[in-house]
Structure 1
Amino acid sequence: MNGPGPLPSLHRPMTDPFGRTISYLRVSVTDRCDLRCFYCMSEDMTFLPKVDLLTLEELDRLCAAFIAKGVKKLRLTGGEPLVRRNLMSLVRSLSRHLATGALSELTMTTNGTQLARFAQELADCGMRRINVSLDTLDAAKFRAITRWGELDKVLSGIEAARKAGLAVKINAVALKNLNEEEIPALMQWAHGHGMALTLIEVMPMGEIGAGRIDQYVPLSLVRARLAKQFTLTDLDESTGGPARYVRVAETGGKLGFITPMTHNFCESCNRVRITCTGTLHTCLGQEDASDLRKPLRASPSDELLAAAIDRAIGLKPKGHDFIIDRRHNRPSVSRHMSVTGG
């Protein structure tokens, strides 16, 4: 008697060539943003034509296909996701997977500028936590980093999120000679409001018109400085992302370090990213790309799409090799972070 045949591609779990199970999907819903953070974008960015973007219905179907294949955590990113028109219709639709238990977490990374409008609705859709990108509490520095952003607008959004019951984690990029001296105060502020803080090294992605050598500060140096002032205890835990966490005894809060430059996090990578045009990137720091828009639109059935996903996962590299190119001062990866998804 023959045993059961191979699991159909539609529901086959995604395991890469190195035995890592893919269970975390990050989806960029737009490359547009209402800020122009100088380490992320050039000031005169040329965004994708709207006709090139997947519709919200296509994004919903694409996410559903990944959930059927084992994705348990889904993060919406941008650009700034909340500037996408009618985005909440997608969030409401995706929340059905939380109700069935197929998805364990639906979350978002945002710059916070639109949170005052949408925080309660996000919570009502089953979102329980969000990440907010915020590099400084100094209004003048914030405007300099974002080129025209208003700090008060973001702080109001964070407060609205907390009032809605969302757990907020602050993400801050460490920037040499700009906010590195402010990191202790930023950490104490975040922890004082019950929020974790994660520090991130500048990543060499996309041409931004400024030298990243001048921006880059290794987090090993930042941690050493913090250790002179605070008691840091390593935590053996993960939220499914690339951060390594410590507990800060003096504040009681959590501090994370994302170190793509000084110590990559590839050995346990369970993540893939989809752009707003339907391109699948299995590694943030490689130029790999697989087109999912074509099979998505080729058939109302998901067989072609599932097969394309399997092929792409089968090519996932072992890791990235981010470098700051000091000779030519050029990015390791040509695409901008706003295109890839944060």
Structure 2
Amino acid sequence: MVKAVGLLIDTAGIDKLRITGGEPLLSPKFDAVLPEVMQMGLSDVSVTTNGQLLPRKAPLIIDAGLRRINISLDTLDARAFRDIARSGDLATVLKGIDLMLEAGIKVKLNMVPMRGKNDHQILPMLDYALARGIELRFIELMNMGHLQGNALFERQFYGMDEILELIAEHYEFTRAQAPLDSTAARFEISGRGMFGIIANESEPFCRTCSRLRLSSNGKLYGCLSNAKSYDLRDTLNLPEPLAIAKLQSILGNALADKQLASFRGEVTVMKFIGG
């Protein structure tokens, strides 16, 4: 994994890395990979986690020097949490958040609003985040995996306009600038903080997406909306000049898989390809 990341740095010029999943803290590779990638000169390294193992892994994360972490949390209601997450408990996640904040690590929360399941938690989640200096990201439900071609997607989808309309009833906010290749529209509540919306359906960002995804079994994906992948494992056994030359060819194909306009959906499930 570390060698593959090094090759991508040398070949693609990447300078940001997110360790995601699935749940990365479950992986036996995590404890070895995180400290090594933190020493690779990247401008930004972050981890996305559901937070269930965060209290246990906090010393490793803090000692490695991680400065930013994204935590997936869809509700502050303990009963609803069990229904949505299907395992774990809310108290553990909240404890992990507190440990990260106490260590000076910047926390972002990821929430997927779903009509009829947790849309009533949009404002409580925002209040919780603003009170702690956390940026909350609302992520529109994605038309992929088990939701691909499923009427459940249409029933549960809760879009950007609805989110903003609800928040506007309680807060005044203005749209903030974001980097060209950002996936999130960001908004500022003056004197309180920021929140964002990853509006893959309402405001697609495919035209400016610059992300690559490396799976835990060595497959490179150019796009969340395309199940096509490229195996890097043989490349890792080549001498570096040959490996870079082969990877350049692979990168050209992977980048060509990106959608031209908007997210079209895919049967790929998020636990295999990451966010």
TM-score normalised per structure 2:
0.91
Aligned to 1:160: 99
Q: CA deviation at 1:178?
A: 1.8
Q: CA deviation at 1:173?
A: 0.3
2:170 maps to which of 213, 223, 229: 229
Aligned to 2:158: 217
Q: Does 1:195 align with 2:128?
A: no
Aligned to 1:84: 27
Post-superposition CA distance 1:51-80 (Å, at most 9, x none):
xxxxxxxx1100001111311100001100
Amino acid in structure 1 at the alignment position of 2:36: S
Alignment partners' CA distance in 1, 2:104 and 2:59: 8
Contact 2:67 2:105 in 1 (8 A): yes
Q: Does 1:74 align with 2:32?
A: no
Q: Does 1:295 align with 2:235?
A: yes
Aligned to 1:273: 213
Aligned to 2:194: 254
Post-superposition CA distance 1:134-160 (Å, at most 9, x none):
000000000000112210111111111
User: In angstroms, what is the RMSD of aligned CA positions?
Assistant: 2.0
Q: CA deviation at 1:337?
A: 0.6
Answer 1 or 2: which has greater helix percent.
2
2:7 maps to which of 35, 52, 65: 65
Q: CA deviation at 1:119?
A: 2.2
Amino acid in structure 2 at the alignment position of 1:234: R
Q: CA deviation at 1:165?
A: 1.7
Q: CA deviation at 1:321?
A: 3.8
Q: Does 1:123 align with 2:66?
A: no
Amino acid in structure 2 at the alignment position of 1:293: R
Amino acid in structure 2 at the alignment position of 1:214: R
Q: Which runs of 5+ in 2 are unaligned?
A: none
Aligned to 1:309: 250
Q: CA deviation at 1:216?
A: 0.9
Q: CA deviation at 1:291?
A: 2.1
Alignment partners' CA distance in 1, 2:141 and 2:209: 19
Q: CA deviation at 1:184?
A: 1.1
Amino acid in structure 2 at the alignment position of 1:268: T
2:96 alignment partner, SS class: helix
**Structure 1 stretches (4+) deviating beyond 6 angstroms?**
none
Aligned residues: 270
Instruction: Provide the identity percentage.
Output: 32
TM-score normalised per structure 1:
0.74
Alignment partners' CA distance in 1, 2:256 and 2:56: 41
1:74 alignment partner, SS class: strand
Greater shift, 234-243 or 163-172, is seen at 234-243
Contact 2:206 2:258 in 1 (8 A): no
Contact 1:123 1:165 in 2 (8 A): no
Q: Does 1:111 align with 2:59?
A: no
Flag the structure with more relative contact order, 1 or 2, with Cα contacts below 8 A and sequence separation at least 6.
Answer: 1
Contact 1:74 1:107 in 2 (8 A): yes
Q: CA deviation at 1:210?
A: 8.0
2:196 alignment partner, SS class: strand
Aligned to 1:183: 122
Alignment partners' CA distance in 1, 2:132 and 2:19: 24
Contact 1:106 1:126 in 2 (8 A): no
Aligned to 1:339: 272
1:271 alignment partner, SS class: coil
Post-superposition CA distance 1:106-141 (Å, at most 9, x none):
111000111112223223222101000000000000
Alignment partners' CA distance in 2, 1:309 and 1:126: 32
Greater shift, 266-275 or 210-219, is seen at 210-219
Contact 2:230 2:254 in 1 (8 A): no
Amino acid in structure 1 at the alignment position of 2:32: S
Post-superposition CA distance 1:202-226 (Å, at most 9, x none):
1011126982222211121111121
2:207 alignment partner, SS class: helix
Alignment partners' CA distance in 2, 1:93 and 1:148: 30
1:97 maps to which of 1, 17, 40: 40
